Homo-oligomer: A and B are copies of this chain.
């Protein structure tokens, strides 16, 4: 994993085998970024686990074991309690071009993956919302 920081912009090139969420979280903490927006991401993943939210904190899991092209990556960085939390959704393309999309529960980089993030000055937070079972994004 290598990265370049230019003001509020952080560009990261992940390496083969990197765990996308834990490596990104480690880098963000090292950079002192606790809040931000994902501007995009391209590369390959293998495997990736998508989730489809069923309510009550449960996700239907969609497992993609083979390598796939990461073609859209969106989301944000916020603070939940003492932890930094990355909320990521993605769209991947399979070998025949078919697209699969969902909330990213976990993903490992295949060969390479290039991600751009924009740090925000005001810190966004998440708080557990018992009504939806989700960690709701809040601004103060």
A-B contact pairs, 12 of them (CB 8 A): A4-B124, A13-B137, A39-B118, A40-B74, A42-B103, A52-B94, A69-B103, A70-B89, A71-B102, A87-B114, A92-B101, A93-B103
A107 beta carbon closer than 8 Å to chain B: no
**Which among B53, B73, B120, B138 is the interface contact of A2 at CB below 8 angstroms?**
B138
Q: Which residues on the B side are within 8 Å of A4 (C-beta)?
A: 122, 124, 139-140
For the residues of A in contact with B, the DSSP-based class is strand
Binding site for B on A (CB under 8 A): 2-4, 6, 9, 11, 13, 16, 37-42, 44, 50, 52-53, 60, 62, 64, 67, 69-76, 87-103, 111-112, 114, 116, 118, 120-122, 124, 132, 134, 136-140
Does A139 lie within 8 Å of B69, measured CB to CB? no
Does B120 contact A136, Cβ atoms closer than 8 Å? Answer: no
Knowing A4-B140, A114-B87, A136-B112 are in contact, say whether A101-B37 is a contact too (CB < 8 A). no
Q: For residue A62, which residues in chain B have a CB less than 8 angstroms away from its CB? A: 96-97
Q: Please name the residue on chain B nearest to A67 by beta carbon.
A: B53
Contact for A6 among B16, B39, B41, B121, CB less than 8 A: B121
Q: Determine which of B60, B90, B95, B137 lies in contact with A114 in the assembled complex, contact meaning CB atoms within 8 Å.
A: B137
